[in-house]
Amino acid sequence: MYKAGDRLPSSRVFAAEWGVSRTAVTAAYGQLADEGYLSTQAGARAVVVSGLEQDPSPSPAAAKTAQRRVSSFAQRISTFKRLNIPEKVDVADFLYGDLCAGDFPVLAWRRALNKAMLRHRTKLRNDQPQGYLPLRIALQGYLWRARGIRCAAEHIVIVNGIQQGLDICARLLLDPGDPFLIENPGYRLARHAFEATGGLAIPIPVDSEGMQTASLPPARLAYVTPSHQFPVGSVLSAPRRRALLAWATQNGAYVVEDDYDGEYRHGIAPIAPLQTIDPDSVIYLGTVSKTLSPTLRLGYLIAPNSLCAAFFGAKRIMDRHTQLYDQEALTDLLESGAYERHVRSMRRKNAHRRTVLLKALGDHLGNSVTVSGADAGLHVLLWLNGVPAEHEADVVAEACSRGVGIYPVSHTFVTSDRPAMAGVTLGYASLDDTQLRQGIAVLAKAIAKYG
Ligand SMILES: Cc1ncc(COP(=O)(O)O)c(C=O)c1O
């Protein structure tokens, strides 16, 4: 065992002593010198350096260890409850947010992606943080045609899904302790994004006209799903739209408008986004998660002029920019018209699924349930009229044991103040006719046990 300051034998002596080749010893000495264990000088024997005595990982018993701390952000996110998603359900999984893999336009996307990868470029260079300019221009046209939004491409930011847009809004608009308004019930992952930065949720009740705006308290931002309230499904009425925007102006607050499923209206007229009324107060968020795939993690936001620079800066430090090849592929689909054709086809397919679901609900559950929010989007909220809220988790567990995944509405409430009856969300966009029919037939049996 050599200690600091000890001289090692010469490589010749060491090799002879151990019966190994001198080349191997010289290489080993060289490696130890490169790693800083030995100091060497030409013509002199290698010396063991000092400072190696300290054990970098002492046993807990041997040394006093200082407590490692995580940030308050990490502490807050560790308290968030996750939705319990069963590993496998045999009959039907009504998990909201899933799409049918067979609906994805594999050939068109692969072609567009190939084109993007084969495009001639001399350098692989990071793009602008706000996103690929041709995509922003293509989206500008799409948003005008599909949602009646007039905006400049300079105000569009490409994000990794709405979720990243929400995270950036939280970082830009909330300091710890700042209040924010959130629909109750509402989208849990939006609340979590705002709470993670230390924002304080002020739950605002929701009814058949969306968020109740009669007496909104002051706050830094309000998060809303005005075109299709999540999860209730109501549309924010015209007087409440005006009241919300007036509140934002009076309080110097921003409205975060989540238009997550604006492409899907079933027999009702499209509703113009809040952004079209007051682009200075509203941050508009959209996504391809409901039209192409949630796995792409591609979304977009429209920032008010006053916030553009901050959004670009935030995006730059978060991930430089959204993955470029996917942005280019989406541009291709938008420019060629393939995206809008695909959206029309998705609308037809999902309208069919919705019809099958509603028929099955009528056949198997009739008046024992109330269906809410079926006029738009890709899910319904099912209130179980005869089942008290205390049995909500039991019905979910019973359905799961029979091979059907359903998800409790309790997860969407900010407070324990909620309707007395049990409720579950049913997403239908990933299921075929058989799964929808059998799923509801099995669900009816699970509900009957508690109804
Ligand atoms: C209300 C709401 N907003 C946003 C999203 C998701 O958007 P993204 O996948 O783009 O993050 C969902 C997804 O289910 C949603 O229900």
- 180 and 92 in one domain? no
**Residue 123: inside a domain:** yes
Residue 31 belongs to what domain range?
A: 11-48
Is residue 225 lining ligand 1, measured as CB closer than 6 Å? yes
Same domain for 167 and 213: yes
Residues 17 and 125 placed together within one structural domain of the fold: no
Residue 57 has pLDDT above 80, yes or no: no
Give the span between the Cα atoms of 403 and 270, in whole angstroms.
36
Conformation bin of residue 407: beta by default, left when phi > 0, alpha when psi is -120 to 50: beta
CA 29, CA 46: separation in Å to the nearest integer?
A: 8
Would you state the pLDDT for residue 40?
A: 87
Region class of 100: left (phi > 0), else alpha (psi between -120 and 50), else beta? beta
Q: Is residue 270 within 6 Å of ligand 1 at its C-beta?
A: no
Task: Kindly state whether residues 129 and 40 are assigned to the same domain.
Answer: no
| Dist CA 388 CA 406 (whole Å) | 16
| CATH assignment of the domain containing 224 | 3.40.640.10
Q: Ligand 1 atom 3: the closest Cα is on which residue?
A: 260
The pLDDT assigned to 51 comes to 84
Residue 61 counted as domain residue? no
- Is residue 298 within 8 Å of 158, Cβ to Cβ? yes
Residue 230 pLDDT > 90: yes
pLDDT, average across residues 11-29: 91
Q: If pLDDT is split at 50, 70 and 90, which confidence band does 111 have?
A: very high
Furthest-apart CA atoms within the chain: distance in Å: 96
Does the pTM surpass 0.85? The reply is: yes
Instruction: Identify whether residues 148 and 235 lie together within a single domain.
Output: yes
Say yes or no: CB of residue 230 within 6 Å of ligand 1.
yes
pLDDT for the residue 87: 83
- Can you give the pLDDT at residue 417? 82
The mean pLDDT of the chain is 94
Tell me which of 271 and 401 has the higher pLDDT: 401
Residues 311 and 347 in one domain: no
pLDDT in tens, 137-163: 999 999 999 999 999 999 999 999 999
The whole-angstrom separation of Cα 42 and Cα 62 is 41
Q: What is the pLDDT of residue 42?
A: 84
pLDDT of 63 higher than 70: no
HEC assignment per residue over the chain: CCCCCCECCCHHHHHHHHCCCHHHHHHHHHHHHHCCCEECCCCCCCEECCCCCCCCCCCCCCCCCCCCCCCHHHHHHCCCCCCCCCCCCCCEECCCCCCCHHHCCHHHHHHHHHHHHHCCCCCCCCCCCCCCHHHHHHHHHHHHHHHCCCCCHHHEEEECHHHHHHHHHHHHHCCCCCEEEEEECCCHHHHHHHHHCCCEEEEEEEECCEECCCCCCCCCEEEECCCCCCCCCCCCCHHHHHHHHHHHHHHCCEEEEECCCCCCECCCCCCCCHHHCCCCCEEEEEECCCCCCHHHCCEEEECCHHHHHHHHHHHHHHHCCCCHHHHHHHHHHHHHCHHHHHHHHHHHHHHHHHHHHHHHHHHHHHHHEEEECCCECCEEEEEEEEEEHHHHHHHHHHHHHCCEECEEHHHHCCCCCCCCEEEEEEECCCCCHHHHHHHHHHHHHHHHCCC
What's the confidence (pLDDT) of residue 84?
A: 87
pLDDT above 70: residue 56: no
Angle between helix 338-365 and 133-147 (nearest 10): 50
Average pLDDT over residues 69-97: 93
Q: What is the pLDDT of residue 416?
A: 75
Q: Is the CB of 294 under 6 A from ligand 1?
A: yes
Model pLDDT, residue 448: 93
Q: What local confidence, expressed as pLDDT, does residue 270 receive? A: 78
Q: Is residue 276 part of a domain?
A: yes
Predicted local distance difference test score (pLDDT) of residue 41:
87
| Cα 163 to averaged position of ligand 1 atoms, centre (Å) | 7
Whole-angstrom Cα distance, residue 355 to residue 94?
15
In angstroms, the Cα distances linking 144 to 219, 276, 305, 375 are: 31, 10, 18, 23
Q: State CA 70 to chain mean position distance.
A: 23
How many of the other CB atoms lie within 10 Å of CB of 110? 11
Burial class (CB in 10 A: 0-12, 13-18, 19+), 366: exposed
> Does any domain span residue 314?
yes
pLDDT digits (tens, 9 = 90+) for 325-379: 999 999 999 999 999 999 999 999 999 999 999 999 999 999 999 999 999 999 9
Q: How far apart are CA 91 and CA 100, in angstroms?
A: 15
pLDDT at 391: 95
Report pLDDT digits (tens) over 211-227.
999 999 999 999 999 99
Considering the domain boundaries, does residue 243 fall inside one? Answer: yes
176 and 36 share one domain? no
Mutate to test the pocket of ligand 1, among 157, 160, 289, 407 (most ligand atoms within 8 A of CB): 289
Q: Quick check: CB of 260 below 6 Å from ligand 1? A: yes
Residues 210 and 332 in one domain: yes
238 assigned to some structural domain? yes
Instruction: Record the tokens describing residue 197, joined without a space.
Output: 């930065």
Ligand 1 within 6 A of CB of 299: yes
Which amino acid is located at 111 in the chain?
R
**279-317 per-position pLDDT tens digit:** 999 999 999 999 999 999 999 999 999 999 999 999 999
User: Does residue 53 fall inside a structural domain?
Assistant: no
pLDDT at 436: 98
In the predicted structure, residue 59 carries a pLDDT above the cut 70: no
Q: How far is the CA of 162 from the centre of ligand 1 (A)?
A: 6
Residue 298: the pLDDT is: 98
160 close to 322: Cβ distance less than 8 angstroms: yes
CB 262 less than 6 A from any atom of ligand 1? no
Do 284 and 404 lie in one domain? The reply is no
Q: Are 266 and 374 in contact (CB under 8 A)?
A: yes
Residue 216: name the closest of 202, 227, 226, 228 by CA: 202
* Among 83, 182, 187, 300, residue to substitute to test ligand 1 (most atoms within 8 Å of Cβ): 187
pLDDT confidence tier of residue 117, bands split at 50, 70 and 90: very high
Number of structural domains, the chain?
Answer: 3
The CATH number for 407's domain is: 3.90.1150.10
Question: 321 with 372, same domain?
Answer: no
Cis peptide before 185 (omega within 30 of 0): yes
Of the residues 287, 318, 336, the one at which a domain ends: 336
On whether both 270 and 396 belong to a single domain, the answer is: no
Residue 63 lies in a domain: no
Mean of pLDDT values over 121-136: 96
Higher pLDDT, 339 or 34: 339
Nearest to 419 by CA among 446, 392, 450: 392
What pLDDT, on a 0 to 100 scale, did the predictor assign at position 60? 63
User: In which band, very low, low, confident or very high, does the pLDDT at 275 lie, cut at 50, 70 and 90?
Assistant: very high
From 158, 164, 287, the mutation candidate for ligand 1 (largest count of ligand atoms within 8 A of CB) is 287
Q: Clarify whether residues 377 and 287 are in a common domain.
A: no
> What local confidence, expressed as pLDDT, does residue 61 receive?
64
